[in-house]
Chain A
Amino acid sequence: MNQAYLQIKNLTKEFLSAYQDEKVIAVKNFNLEMKRGEFLTLLGPSGCGKTTILRMIGGFENPTTGDIHLDDVKINDIPANKRDTCMVFQSYALFPHMNIYKNVAFGLEFRDLATGEIRKRVEKILEFVGLAGLGNRPVAQLSGGQQQRVALARAMVNEPKVLLFDEPLSNLDAKLRIKMRIFIRKIQQESNITSIYVTHDQEEAMTLSDRIVVMNRGEIEQVGTPEEIYSRPRTKFVADFIGKQTNFMTGNVLESVDGRQEVEFWNRRFSFERYPHLKKGDAVTLVIRPEMIELSAQEGVCNGEVTLVTYLGSEVNYEVTAEGQVFTIQVSNPLKTGIFRTGDRVCLNFDLRNIYLIKA
């Protein structure tokens, strides 16, 4: 018996391009294991293959090679309508000619259940998603948020082994999106349903997920908890894609001293915690988030000039040019430190504990 609930092995998907003249590799050698009850997000820019993976799990696309096992059963060759997966579609895909009740009951009709039982389950799930008593409404008359709930109820009522979400919030406005993602997370935790969620919105991924799979060009860049992904990005792509306006600097690894890593940049030596895989002479990229640099008038490396100031109330964002490089720096609680003006000379202090090194 495998430990993993959902196991994806060496999954590859090739398409023919629109003109059928060349192969496009949408997903390349994708491996993943998921625990029961886990909420996992596939995160990446559009065209990175995340939706294709979801559709292969759902049975809408056939893998070119590779296997998908769900609860110890290989599901590759099981057609979509016999798979124990249910999807919440980006467009919701509610059946426009049916009311809420009929939409939600649709999947149960194919399960050999008594009418009374179907009614019971539908009413229970409608209550669960906050649509109790609205069963008779035509779906065309619902707001975006309500349609979203119907789509969720319609998928969940079947108690699938895996619930699949295909960018379900992308058609909602910003406020509702935030409300709905909290709603989805709560519902998922209450029902403990194993879920895979596809999105290109990192905030959504961060709030929802137990683990995030960051993808690029059909391949996995990194798998980890939201915190790991943010603070210990394995590749420059992840560092750049996650977070806003990440700063990159290049440096050289010097020898280790007292179990710490000495790195040189700007002709100075800085001491970091030890990275076992780095050795003397390696070039490294330093991942510096905007909040990891402090500005002051006197202390630090004093060669910066403020070139742009954006005041946002709770924070101030600066663009500071130093050593020919432009840094984005975010200062929270600006009233405490005072606000610099464009043209001010400033000193930069790096928060070395949180700066992460990637082998260049």
Chain B
Amino acid sequence: MGAFGHYLAAHLDTLKSEFWALFVGGVANGLLYGMIAVGYTLVYGVLRLINFAHSEIFMSGGFAGYFVLRYFVGSGAPPAGMSSVGLIILGVLVGGLVGAIVATVLERVAYRPLRRRNAPKLAYLISAIGASYFLFNLAGKEFGHLAYSTPQPYINHPVFHIFGAPVQMYFVIIFLVGLVMFASLDRIISKTRLGRGIRAVAQDAETASLMGVNIDRTIAITFIVGGTLGGAAGFLFGLNFGVVYTMGFVPALKAFTAAVLGGIGNLRGAMIGGLILGIFESLSLVFVQAAYIDVVAFGILVTVLLVRPTGILGERLGRAA
């Protein structure tokens, strides 16, 4: 007990003093994971497939948002006040738009031809991996292999404090964007005609098509919705961590973990899974070195898949709301 007891006591003290700071960071990361996870969950719902190229949708949103910022801010002094809020909103919109475009092209090129032929599942996975590989390496070629850092002083100053932990502007932005996106998405899926179509296809594609749902269109829209959230998340992620052609890999793996944790195919599950993963990961920083943080997320993924593959809320396919 001795040495381990000391280790634990020391780390628990750190945990106590750092708890709220880590918690805030974890919630922000968790919302980002949740936003990416929505893309996995929606596509899984209608196609029963994991979209391996989702990480590149995230990456392209990050690049698009970055270039918008760069165009407006350039090398000048970063804007403050309302103009910075306007820039962030613009970045989120452009990131989401480009994410949606990439997702649409991806669906057309890498998925639809296979769906037409009813190809085996392995073929979809390989095609998506190829598309992902193609996209991020092409981005590396066009934009260089080094990371771009976003002009960020206007997002780093604390806005207010929770239990003594500073909450930076960046976190507030993510909370707001994340909440707006989730709330509107939840409404779209559960209340609108479009959402009903998506849920119908998720439940039983064949019957849905007999009832007059246009399957191709529904699948395309699902990709657009997932792509929008993924691209916007890419912009928000890049705001803090910079953008680089390989930026999608690790966040997407974690978002996938979040989707599985919450129950894949389940929209609210994606959000909850993202939050739990973000907070857990952030708090585990007290106990493990930062280099192993990805190992923690991976450990959670394997554990969930083995112990409860349906996730916390269960795979409620077709009842995505």
A and B assemble together: no
